[in-house]
Chain A
């Protein structure tokens, strides 16, 4: 199956290295990506205790440049883009007019009138078309940079210490960026990540990804796959587009009101403001099972609601997930039952994040 599918799947610049490292490769959003190497639990715990590296080159990039770049992005993104200083980074969502979420994305300000926005792989073409459709009237140029960048995420409490000797300058602080060389390769280094750990994300020309990867592994960083990435983000209650975020849901019910600044007048801001004022009928909540079982995406919540992400948490050693539930049942401590393939599993609504360092 994998062999047949691979003919139409894209491969990252690190494909041969993944094979050499013993990765199991799976189709993901049109790409052939490493889901695991040594094993998801081992990779997960390596990131929590030390450092891991993920190939996330499947993620897309859109560059916005020109005198109207700020005005355009302020119109398109939910957050207040004017607060990103040069060299800064910010999270936000892209909304339809009705407030439905098209994507969630990080935007880096590379220069005064130059921004780079990182898209989810499955949404890249859709996002680009949406942005282009709204660019008329702005003094702005949009460039699809998907093919120009490989992307590596180096994450874990020791990520910076292991990476620092490979660079020619100081690593950026959290939510800051720096143009450095890493293992001799020019890279945009960003103080961001998707694991709840300290660390950075590196964007470089695809041809440079191999030397950086090799140097990281030689420094003792563990290769980690998409399966560990899933358990890591879910433990800290980040959102995955396609699971927890979708066009039929708005950012308020998803708990992303903090990155929506309706006063900026972004596309969808009126709908978001209305949802915020009215209060959502359902809310996305993290939960954990109090007994046996593992919740999965699509499991119904007994009495109303649905699991959008679910897994076994290697750190907590139990089933955890996120679900949209009626607002009346969203309070921390509310007891839920999850219908896991016909078996009702006891669960409780938890505070974010599900996993905290030091307990």
Chain B
């Protein structure tokens, strides 16, 4: 069922960022429970390459269900330092565990102040209604 963990920051386009507590310049990105539920079963994840510069609010990857393709929006700006390669053969993890095994990329963030534009879990969930 719908789930929006308290420890994440949310972009209104249904993306989350988890700030690494020990390396606060590194954030992990993924899509929210709402996003994967709307999309249906994910059958293909097209990731960016490591080293790609992503910009807050812009698409950095594509995720596809049988029926449709969706852009994945970066909640923060920075450089991609790691891609979840496991999704290549197991894109269903995006549905099964959107905040865990379904993570998409890790990014070295370029502007900590951008976090102020993101929503906390309650604010994100409220705007879904």
Contacts and interface: CB of A to CB of B under 8 A. Distances in A.
B69 A312 contact: no
B85 interface: no
Interface in A184-219: none
B100 to A, nearest CB: 20
Contact of A341 (B40, B43, B69): B69
B66 A231 contact: yes
Contacts of A292: 44, 46, 88
B62 interface: yes
Contacts of A35: 67
Contact of B62 (A41, A314, A341): A341
B35 to A, nearest CB: 15
B44 A293 contact: yes
Contact of A227 (B66, B69, B88): B66
Interface string B39-62: 011011010000000000000001
B64 interface: yes
Contacts of A78: none
B46 A40 contact: no
Contact of B66 (A40, A293, A341, A343): A40
Contact of B67 (A227, A293, A319, A343): A227
Specify the main secondary structure of chain B where it touches its partner: strand
A296 interface: yes
Interface string B16-55: 0000000000000000000000001101101000000000
Interface in A3-48: 35-36, 39-41
Nearest to A38: B41
B52 to A, nearest CB: 14
A294 B69 CA distance: 9
A311 interface: yes
Nearest to B92: A41
B64 A40 contact: no
A231 B62 CA distance: 21
B129 to A, nearest CB: 14
Contacts of B46: 292-293, 343
Given A36-B40, A41-B41, A293-B46, A311 B66 contact: yes
A40 B62 contact: no
A314 B66 contact: yes
Contacts of B69: 294, 296, 341
Contacts of A294: 43-44, 64, 69
Nearest to B38: A24
Interface string A347-359: 0000000000000
A319 B64 CA distance: 11
Nearest to B45: A292
Given A40-B66, A341-B62, A312 B40 contact: no
From A41, A230, A343, residue with most partner B Cβ within 10 Å: A41
A343 B46 CA distance: 11
Interface in B60-76: 62, 64-67, 69
A230 B65 CA distance: 13
Nearest to A26: B67
A36 B62 CA distance: 22
Interface in B67-109: 67, 69, 88
Nearest to B71: A341
Contacts of A231: 66
Given A227-B66, A294-B69, A296-B69, A39 B41 contact: yes
Contacts of A230: 67
- List the 8 closest pairs (A to B, CB-CB), nearest first: A312-B43, A40-B66, A312-B66, A294-B64, A227-B67, A39-B41, A41-B41, A294-B44
Interface of B: 40-41, 43-44, 46, 62, 64-67, 69, 88
Interface of A: 35-36, 39-41, 227, 230-231, 292-294, 296, 311-312, 314, 319, 341, 343
17 contacts: A35-B67, A40-B40, A40-B41, A40-B65, A40-B67, A41-B43, A231-B66, A292-B44, A292-B88, A294-B44, A311-B66, A312-B44, A312-B64, A312-B66, A319-B44, A341-B69, A343-B46
Given A40-B67, A41-B41, A312-B43, 12 more contacts: A35-B67, A40-B41, A40-B65, A227-B40, A230-B67, A292-B46, A292-B88, A294-B64, A312-B64, A312-B65, A319-B44, A343-B46
